[in-house]
Amino acid sequence: MAKFDLKLVWADIKAYRRTYILTAVASFGGMLFGWDTGLIGGVLTMDAFQHSFNLDRRSPDFSNLQGNIVSVLQAGCFFGALSSFYVSDTFGRKNAMIIADIIFLIGSLIQTLCAINTTSLAQLYVGRVIGGFGVGLISAVVPTYIGENANKEIRGRCIGCMQLFNVTGICLSFFVNYGISLQIKSLSSAKWRVPFALQMLPGVLLLIGIVFQNESPRWLVEKNRLEDAAKALAKVRAKSANDKDVRQELDEIVKDFEGHKRMPLMAQLRAACSSKPMFYRSSLAVILMFNQQWTGTNSINYYAPQIFQSIGLKGSSAGLFATGVYGIVKIVVTAIGLMAFTEQLGRKWSLLIGSLGQAFAMFYIGVNQAVNPVKEGDPLTGESIFAIVCVYLFVVFYSFGWGPIPFVLSSECSPNHVRSLVMAAALMTQWLFNFVIAKITPLMLSGITYGTFLLFGTCCIIMGVYTIFCVPETKNVPLESIHHLFDGDIIRGCVRDTVPRLSRAKQLQHHHITNDGASDASSASAAVHKRIVPGVQHVEEA
């Protein structure tokens, strides 16, 4: 790993400043669902919330009701992700984020104003479904938008920033819940309305910031708007539209899109399944998102206070505070991972190390609960303290591996001309199983108890094996050259990528699509050059 050098870091920020600004603005979309993810678990434990809706925590149906309140958001997210294919392809990535953000803000407002002169949960459910639709739509568009704008040298880091903002939203919501529980001791509904209202803040910041950013150059090329694509690419690269590097990158994008413009849904489905490599690339994103949910991370995100109590941590405030610290650890490790692992260690090894660390943490928590079950009134033992430490250890390994990397690989490995379809399918999968996990976790914690953690630990081991045999290394590979990683024997190539010095990414990092066909590339270059540089005549003879 390269030695940390502050001058090099500053040079990197300066060179890619506009890409980083675009990434930061778009990543507020990640904070939207992060905030709600961390918010709802703490709100459910508040006595004021239970009083407003006349809920009884001792009722046998309370666990099922908790699952319903949490998981109804994921139902909306699923359909939001489903709609992302049409919305982002029709209106553009930028406009799709604006539409999604407005829908989210409407849903959040409905949630904030529910339970006025009623104890019915109906309005809360409606607000969470509407807000979830916006969250699901934006979660599918943001990694696509960032991936299609970012330079290959920092693409993984930039796409991963969505996860950094996600965990920042989770942490902020944890501490909002904790602060509110300390400041408001009464049963006032403000105790839970304030957290719901504050989740609109990142949505407002996204709405303001995205207006000043450019559209995706790759979407503009797909719509045959080459002049606009050149301007967008030049803006995000902080260069002139006539710059040699900008023209070369645009040439490669045009070349990759040839024959794939304006493909309808069924044509994209056929294209995604047209060959073994294409099907593998398209299904990889879906499998990664499926695996991410079965790490067990959202069980902790949604029900951290309850999990800390089951391990032996006493008191509602203590559980909320421990949950807040969990959020801080998540932010710090995610930031370190993006700076020091995603581009340096690589995607594959980040996933592999993450799988092993997560499995250890989950197995210890489960085995400890089986061998040393916590009884009410018992003091914390050394074993229980280490089980609490293992919750934090889990998030350390998750935050640089299975947290950001599935978003990175999904966006990178999806073919340009079907990327919106593949990302829609991937995020639909994520939200579907996010819904499943949110629904079954309280039931598993009350039913099979320690078996919950053993199940997630086993899943993490399976993910490590999958990473070795089925996940390629993509760091520094141009988007238009990633298809070479799926040529030939895919499994053999993925196993080879496990050894860093043999990684195929090293051979492809300076590869240009125009090398594959000089005459075709020249024609594409001529067409683009003629469109984007007024007054310049460029004649090619066959």
**Banded pLDDT at 525 (limits 50, 70, 90):** very low
Q: What does the pLDDT read at residue 291? A: 96
Helices (H) and strands (E) in the chain, counts: 24, 0
- Write the pLDDT tens digit of every residue in 70-92: 878 888 999 999 999 899 989 99
Q: What is the pLDDT of residues 387-404, one digit of tens each?
A: 888 989 998 999 889 999
* Residue 314: pLDDT over 80: no
Domain spanning 263-511, CATH architecture? Up-down Bundle (1.20)
Q: Which tokens in the block code for residue 439?
A: 């629904």
Mean pLDDT, rounded, for 365-382? 82
Output the pLDDT for position 347.
Answer: 92
pLDDT at 6 over 70: no
The predicted model gives 295-299 an average pLDDT of 87
Tracing tokens 């996204």 back to the chain, one arrives at 206
Average pLDDT over residues 274-279: 89
Tokens of 177: 């819940």
Q: What is the pLDDT of residues 134-174, one digit of tens each?
A: 999 999 999 999 999 999 888 888 998 988 998 899 888 88
Read off the tokens for 504: 């195929």
Q: Report residue 207: phi and psi, to 5°.
A: -60, -40
Per-residue pLDDT averaged across 519-538, rounded?
A: 40
For residue 541 the two structure tokens come to 């003879």
CA distances to 132, 184, 414, 509 from 476, in Å: 34, 50, 16, 5
pLDDT greater than 70 at residue 539: no
Question: What does 383-450 look like in DSSP terms, one character per residue?
Answer: HHHHHHHHHHHHHHHHHHTTTTHHHHHHHHHS-GGGHHHHHHHHHHHHHHHHHHHHHHHHHHHHHTTT
pLDDT at 234 over 60: yes
Percent of the chain's residues with pLDDT above 70 = 90
* pLDDT tier for residue 316 given thresholds of 50, 70 and 90: low
User: Would the pLDDT of 532 be above 50?
Assistant: no
| Residue 340 pLDDT | 78
The span from the CA of 415 to the CA of 259, in Å, is 13
pLDDT bucket at 449, cuts 50 / 70 / 90: confident
**CA distance linking residue 439 with residue 74, whole number of Å:** 10
92 vs 317, residue with greater confidence: 92
Strand, helix or coil at 182? helix
Q: What is the pLDDT of residue 380?
A: 76
State mean pLDDT over 172-191. 87
The pLDDT assigned to 529 comes to 43
Instruction: Write the CA distances from 503 to 16, 349, 466, 471, integer angstroms.
Output: 26, 11, 17, 12
Residue 513 pLDDT exceeds 60: no
Q: Report d(CA 387, CA 362) in Å as an integer.
A: 9
Please check the confidence at residue 522 and state whether its pLDDT lies above 50: no
CA distance 407 to 162: 8
**Most confident among 186-195, 431-440, 455-464, 472-481 (mean pLDDT):** 455-464
Assigned token pair, 216: 């995706």
Q: Provide the b/e sequence for 4-42 (b: ≥16 CB within 10 Å).
A: eeeeeeeebeeebebbbebbebbbbbbbbbbbbbbbbbb
CB atoms within 10 A of CB 336: 13
Measured CA distances, 322 to 94, 127, 221, 339, 429 (Å): 37, 29, 48, 26, 30
What does the mean pLDDT of the chain come to?
85
> Quick one: average pLDDT of 426-444?
86
pLDDT band at 23; cut points 50, 70, 90: very high
**The CATH number of domain 18-213, selected from 3.40.50.720, 3.40.50.1950, 1.20.1250.20, 3.40.1190.20:** 1.20.1250.20
Binned at pLDDT 50, 70 and 90, residue 536 comes out as: very low
Domain ranges for the chain: 18-213, 216-260, 263-511
Tokens of 381: 């033992």
The pLDDT of residue 319 is 65
- What ranges in 45-121 are assigned the alpha helix state H? 47-52, 62-91, 93-112
One fold for 18-213 and 263-511:
yes
Q: Left if phi > 0, otherwise alpha if psi is -120 to 50, otherwise beta: which for 5? A: beta
Locate 416 and state its tokens: 């340009």
For residue 480, what pLDDT band results from cuts at 50, 70 and 90? confident
Among 19-28, 319-328, 359-368, the range scoring the smallest mean pLDDT is 319-328
pLDDT mean over 399-420: 88
Residue 288's H or E segment, with its range, is helix 276-293
Distance CA 53, CA 114 (A): 10
Q: 82-137, pLDDT tens digit by residue?
A: 999 899 989 999 999 999 999 999 999 999 999 888 889 999 999 999 999 999 99
Cα distance between residue 347 and residue 416, in whole Å: 20
pLDDT exceeds cutoff 80 at 377: no
Six token digits for residue 59 = 């009722």
The pLDDT of residue 211 is above 70: yes
pLDDT band at 182 (very low <50, low <70, confident <90, very high): confident
- Nearest-angstrom CA–CA distance, 276 and 279: 5
For position 318, what pLDDT does the model report? 67
